Amino acid sequence: MLRIGNHLPSSKGYLAMAKHAEKLGANTFAFFTRNPRGGAAKAIDESDVEKFLAYTKERDIDRLVAHAPYTMNLCSVKPDIRQFGFNMLKDDLQRMEYTPNQYYNFHPGSHTGQGTETGIEQIAAALNQILTPEQSTIVLLETMTGKGSEIGGRFEELRAILDHVELQDKMGVCLDTCHVWDGGYDIVNDLDGVLEEFDKIIGLHRLYAVHLNDSMNPCGARKDRHQKLGQGHIGLEGLIQVVNHPALKGLPFILETPNEDEEYAEEIRMMREACQW
């Protein structure tokens, strides 16, 4: 069965998110670990986590893809911003262990003028200081559009970060369909070719999750404006190909589309119906 869900509000805690996911017909979901603009995280409520773990186990809600705050930039030219990101990443990964064996996805960062190579080194250096052999969470680098000084718009850049990280088995990649499309990878006309390239450069064994979004813009536009499934330039057929691609079978597909609950439930239902697994 297709593993699919959407990005949910986290303010009411873990059990509330699991119930919310179930209501939408989802069997996975994403959430921000704290305010998406950063800042202090709410304390973990251990009894909530306990109920959440029992609830999700019974219903096979799994492979959560937590999302780091957008303000986390491990390769800013400003040291205080790098430190702010470092602190959030470290704290978030400790919190993730309350819900073991899930994924934590982050935007690699924007080098803000330092150059891609320096950016890559700074991102990897932070990861090397924070990752531990004991952690059960897999940390995912998200594929980006490459707008501005964003790192991760090319598969080669993600590979370079991974190469610099010592604890390789704690790392992976999350492929965002809107981002790769906007970044110039034509997943509509050549999905096989794009995934072959991903495999050659990064390795498909390192792909743990997919963000399933349509795009408001044409391939290569580098804009990063998500659209509802089937209402953008990728289109429904293109997205259906993605959920049915054998190389992506079993991965969690997370919707980050501009929708209300009812529309999310409809997108989930629609993709389930179109999926052959």
**Residues in touch with Fe ion (CB under 5 A):** 142, 176, 211
Q: Which does 224 bind (CB under 5 to 8 A by kind): Zn ion, Fe ion, none?
A: Zn ion
Distance of CA 45 to the CA centre of its chain: 24
What's the rounded Cα separation, in Å, for the pair 200 and 149?
A: 25
Minimum CB–partner distance for residue 57 and Fe ion (Å): 27
Minimum CB–partner distance for residue 254 and Fe ion (Å): 8
Q: Which does 211 bind (CB under 5 to 8 A by kind): Fe ion, Zn ion, none?
A: Fe ion
Kindly state whether residue 224 participates in binding Zn ion, applying the rule CB under 5 A. yes
Place of tokens 């959440």: 52
Q: Applying CB under 5 A, which part among 90-98, 113-121, 199-207, 224-232 lies near Zn ion?
A: 224-232
Tell me the HSE value of 182 on the side-chain side, using a 13 A CA sphere: 26
By beta-carbon proximity to Zn ion, the closer residue of 147 and 245 is: 147
Minimum CB–partner distance for residue 205 and Fe ion (Å): 21
Q: What angle do CA 57, 63, 66 make, to 5 degrees?
A: 115
Q: Applying CB under 5 A, which part among 63-71, 97-105, 217-225, 238-246 lies near Zn ion?
A: 217-225
What's the rounded Cα separation, in Å, for the pair 177 and 240?
A: 12
By beta-carbon proximity to Zn ion, the closer residue of 150 and 224 is: 224
Burial of 27 (0-12, 13-18, 19+ CB in 10 A): buried
SS3 call for 224: coil
Minimum CB–partner distance for residue 87 and Fe ion (Å): 20
Which residues would be at the binding site for Zn ion (CB under 5 A)?
224
